[in-house]
């Protein structure tokens, strides 16, 4: 037996995969920048899924944890185990491209631990040499020719006059992270609109399939992996991606049973994918009800949104996010760009203890803005637009109805801001042309703002070693900087480090950490 095994080992050393598989792997490597180790692992995984004898031999290894699987691959492929770990990390190319995934949470046989892009992927890549794009066959399809024109969507013209310039800017500058949610009842023309938008841009349109070649549904997790692959495969082509039935991913958790959706279970991963992807994507859904509000936001370039509003001078925006992130400040800036007055109303200005008086105040606010030609900004809009399904009093419903009536008839620019997006009446979301999330500062934004304020305060230039300190402040907002600058008037800040310490104190208060008070 030892001699037979030794002879087999010697023969294996000179073995090679089939020409179609070898050539297709080479094309994939060039397309998504796979390393040599990546290619070896991918080849083996494909053969494991395609060769029953190899699968049976792999089953003799028993049920494998991820650690044991990494060791097994190291021995089988004669590669350093550290290289296997690196290649199969969630941040490496194989995972980011969607070509190969690892079930890290459960023990399985070797074949089931290594998941390929799709069920038919192994057959397609080994059968004949082909364009890498064809390897997505059955999971990504070319959109059908359009049957409608832009003129057929005059009823949403105000939204399109913002959306089209934004898409043109995104495609011209190759900006990453462009996601547009189109939602409405079935048959209202969402799919046709994606075709129209692609034609207007001169781009190809591909759809992430919801069914396989046999007509069986593809689950949300599998569709997400295919979507991720499209971002690698089409990164250098003029392409739009349409993801129909987005509720497969964002609303498949049966929330009434307390189950989270596929997207909610992978929220951090989803956000990274959405924000970093190079190919603009149009997400289509029949409803936004049940979708986590954290995903319903427009991380759009506000300057280009503003350019659209300046041109059409009408629009309805919902700005939401934590306090201090700049929602009201953006309203002021936009009013300046439009060269019109800003009318700001808060809940305390409009709410009344008398029945019918609040509705009257809301109507008067819109009338005043109309007469003055002002941009109307209503802060704490959640006070007026709470979900009517949870209403206990008749006036709560009439308050929502009055606000919606006034919004529909207002011809100017209206901005609603809230810290509590999840409390809004679901039907009101359809009334807003854009929902824009104002979030905490990213580390690079916080650093840029720190450098700017140090210059304004005549402080020294922040040293690079301070970056790690600012990076730890996850809940930092422009409002925190503003508060610290006001403190500077009576408690001078003398260095960049002192400015960061003051910002840390502001964040600590928000995060509920106790701070000492007294004299030192």
Q: What is the mean pLDDT of the chain?
A: 84
Could you tell me the pLDDT band of residue 228, with boundaries at 50, 70 and 90? Answer: confident
Counting other chains too, the contacts that 187-191 makes at CB distance below 8 Å and 24 or more residues apart are: 189/148, 189/152, 189/153, 190/244, 190/284, 191/143, 191/242, 191/244, 191/284
| DSSP 8-state code for residue 288 | -
Give this prediction's pTM. 0.59
Q: What's the token pair of residue 454?
A: 């140090």
Q: pLDDT tens digits for 273-328?
A: 777 788 999 999 887 766 766 566 544 556 667 777 888 888 889 999 899 999 99
Could you tell me the pLDDT band of residue 223, with boundaries at 50, 70 and 90? Answer: confident
Position 254 pLDDT exceeds 70: no
Q: pLDDT tens digits for 397-439?
A: 777 788 888 988 999 999 999 888 776 777 777 788 888 889 8
Which carries the bigger pLDDT value, residue 219 or residue 498?
A: 498
Block residue for tokens 């089988």: 76
Contact between 458 and 426 under an 8 Å Cβ cutoff? The reply is no
Predicted confidence at residue 324, as pLDDT, reads 92
Predicted confidence at residue 388, as pLDDT, reads 53
Predicted confidence at residue 341, as pLDDT, reads 95
Predicted confidence at residue 71, as pLDDT, reads 94
Domains and their CATH numbers in the chain: 18-134 (no CATH), 140-285 (3.40.50), 293-437 (3.40.50.300), 443-511 (no CATH)
Arithmetic mean of pLDDT, 336-350: 90
C-alpha 349/C-alpha 377 separation (Å) is 12
Predicted confidence at residue 152, as pLDDT, reads 93
Contact between 370 and 313 under an 8 Å Cβ cutoff? The reply is no
C-alpha 232/C-alpha 140 separation (Å) is 13
- For the ranges 137-151, 195-209, 412-426, 442-456, the lowest mean pLDDT is seen at 412-426
Query: In terms of residues, how long is the chain?
Result: 520
Arithmetic mean of pLDDT, 145-174: 87
Q: pLDDT tens digits for 152-166?
A: 999 888 788 878 888
Position 368 pLDDT exceeds 90: yes
Position 257 pLDDT exceeds 50: no
- Using the CB atoms, write b or e for 192-227: b if 16+ within 10 Å: bbbbbbbeebebebbbbbbeeeeeeebebbbbbbbb
Q: Which of 51-55, 190-194, 247-251, 348-352 has the highest mean pLDDT?
A: 190-194
- For the ranges 23-27, 431-435, 499-503, the lowest mean pLDDT is seen at 431-435
Phi and psi (nearest 5°) for 278?
A: -85, -20
Block residue for tokens 């991963």: 269
Predicted confidence at residue 250, as pLDDT, reads 77
Q: What's the token pair of residue 66?
A: 């991820």
Predicted confidence at residue 293, as pLDDT, reads 61
Predicted confidence at residue 208, as pLDDT, reads 92
Predicted confidence at residue 43, as pLDDT, reads 93
């Amino acid at each position: 037996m030892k001699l037979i095994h030794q002879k087999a080992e010697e023969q294996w050393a000179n073995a090679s995969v089939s020409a179609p598989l070898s050539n297709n792997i080479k094309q994939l490597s060039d397309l998504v920048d796979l390393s040599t180790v990546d290619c070896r692992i991918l080849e083996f995984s494909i053969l494991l899924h395609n060769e029953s004898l190899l699968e049976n031999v792999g089953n003799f290894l028993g049920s494998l944890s991820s650690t044991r699987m990494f060791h097994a691959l190291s021995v089988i492929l004669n590669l350093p185990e550290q290289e296997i770990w690196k290649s199969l990390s969630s941040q490496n190319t194989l995972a980011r491209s969607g070509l190969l995934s690892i079930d890290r949470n459960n023990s399985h046989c070797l074949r089931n631990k290594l998941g390929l892009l799709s069920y038919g992927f192994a057959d397609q890549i080994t059968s004949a040499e082909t364009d890498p794009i064809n390897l997505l066959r059955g999971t990504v399809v070319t959109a059908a020719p359009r049957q409608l024109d832009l003129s057929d969507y005059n009823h949403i013209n105000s939204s399109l006059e913002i959306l089209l310039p934004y898409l043109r800017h995104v495609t011209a500058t190759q900006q990453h992270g462009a996601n547009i949610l189109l939602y409405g009842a079935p048959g209202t023309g969402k799919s046709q609109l994606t075709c129209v938008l692609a034609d207007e841009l001169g781009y190809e349109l591909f759809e992430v399939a919801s069914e396989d070649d046999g007509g069986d549904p593809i689950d949300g997790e599998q569709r997400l992996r295919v979507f991720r692959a499209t971002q690698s495969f089409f990164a250098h082509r003029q392409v739009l991606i349409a993801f129909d039935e987005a509720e497969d991913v964002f609303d498949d958790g049966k929330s009434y049973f307390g189950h989270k959706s596929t997207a909610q279970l992978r929220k951090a991963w989803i956000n990274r994918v959405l924000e970093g992807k190079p190919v603009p994507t149009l997400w289509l859904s029949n409803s936004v009800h049940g979708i986590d509000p954290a995903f319903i936001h427009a991380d759009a370039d506000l300057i280009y949104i503003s350019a659209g509003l300046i041109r059409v001078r009408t629009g309805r925006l919902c700005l939401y996010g934590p306090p201090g992130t700049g929602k009201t400040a953006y309203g002021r800036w936009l009013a300046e760009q439009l060269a019109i007055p800003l009318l700001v109303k808060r809940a305390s200005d409009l709410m009344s203890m008398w029945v019918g008086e609040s509705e009257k105040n809301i109507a008067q606010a819109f009338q005043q803005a109309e007469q003055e030609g002002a941009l109307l900004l209503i802060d704490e809009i959640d006070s007026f637009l709470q979900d009517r399904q949870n209403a206990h009093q008749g006036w709560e419903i009439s308050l929502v109805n009055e606000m919606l009536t006034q919004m529909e008839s207002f011809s100017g620019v209206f901005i609603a801001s809230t810290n509590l997006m999840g409390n809004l009446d679901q039907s009101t979301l359809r009334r807003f042309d854009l929902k824009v999330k104002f979030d905490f500062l990213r580390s690079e934004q916080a650093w840029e703002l720190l450098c700017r304020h140090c210059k304004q305060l005549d402080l020294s230039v922040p040293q690079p070693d301070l970056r790690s300190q600012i990076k730890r402040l996850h809940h930092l907002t422009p409002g925190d900087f503003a508060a610290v600058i006001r403190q500077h008037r009576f408690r001078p800040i003398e260095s960049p480090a002192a400015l960061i310490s003051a910002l840390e104190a502001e964040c600590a208060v928000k995060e509920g950490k106790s701070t000492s008070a007294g004299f030192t």
